Amino acid sequence: MISVFIVDDSVTTCEYLRAILEDDTEVTIAGIANDGSRALEEIVRLRPDVVLMDINMPGMNGYVATEKILAQYPVPIIICSTLWKPGEIAKTFQAIEVGAVTALAKPPGPGHPDFTRLVKRFVNIVKAMSEVTVIARKYGNVSVSAAKKNILKRVSITKNKIVAMGASTGGPQVLLQILKQLPDSFPLPIVIVQHIADGFLEGMGIWLENNIALKIVIPKNGERLLSGRVYLAPDGGQMSVNNNRIQLHPDAPKENQLAPSVSFLFRSIAESYGTAGIAILLTGMGRDGAQELKSIRDNGGLTIAQDAESSAIHGMPGEAIRLDGASHIMAPEQIAELLNELVSVKQ
């Protein structure tokens, strides 16, 4: 049985979330709190498997509560918000930055035309997040070591043209760790697929741009790729790259039940860039992008999978490693250091 603790200042919302969660026979409600202070006290005492956390609450808000809870009890915390303006959504990522595992929109009421599907998806994600192991980690002292020299020696004869990244659960924190270490003069475009709830992408982009030197772009179809730019795949369709331009495919089918999917993007990297592509598969559930990372490696590109120790969930990178798709296995700090070293090598 999965125990869930709900934190929200709306009594109505708490009861609604209780009802839809307890409708699943595998879920029980450990407790409910209407403010962050009470949540901190009760969660540390009751030790639930997963927490649903609102952000805007009187007194101690969800950001502060998340930070304080995780300092005492390492539990998966899901930021559960009503969709606001992108600037407001960006605030939810402050909680993700300090350790929340993901952000979800609160499910709609019974009158919504897609009520059944969205509620089922919401409950399934809550159950899946209960399995995430939350551990306080520091990456600042990690070194790339002598292996880096061998990588640089091998790739220095090529001309890298693009960096592609794929991430799911735990991805925003890791993307921030990597991107904040890259200078605004970084000479390659970076294209990213991050699995995230509909409506949260623009807010995530604002949050990232407020914390890194590079410019964040949610691209339009046909947009030319420029150095020093990070292109986030838009909601609801597939994204590929070809001839140094973004190609959006709003009507393309889902892959691995996802749109955008890492697999769709990585396949275009394998086909269009060959030895000039750098592809990085980060934390997340499932296997999206794993086979395609191997294709990039088979075509001579440089491929990296995040290591298990630093991953919230090692599903995607773990599958890539199992398939021998990753030429290198690294923590986020190592990945950032390597990217900076690669582009500084005279090619």
Q: Which of 8, 54, 130, 168 is catalytic?
A: 168
Active site residue 261: no
Phi, psi of 70 (to 5 degrees): -65, -25
- Whether residue 60 contacts residue 23, with contact meaning beta carbons closer than 8 Å, is answered with no
Q: Which of 8, 35, 288, 307 is catalytic?
A: 288
- Whether residue 1 contacts residue 28, with contact meaning beta carbons closer than 8 Å, is answered with yes
Paired sense of beta strands 277-281 and 50-53, if any: unpaired
Query: How many helices (H) and strands (E) in the chain?
Result: 12, 14
- 10: helix, strand or coil: coil
Burial of 154 (0-12, 13-18, 19+ CB in 10 A): exposed
DSSP state of 274: G
Active site residue 8: no
> What are 336's two structure tokens?
């950032």
Q: Which of 195, 240, 272, 310 is catalytic?
A: 195
Active site residue 195: yes
- Just list the catalytic residues: 168, 195, 288
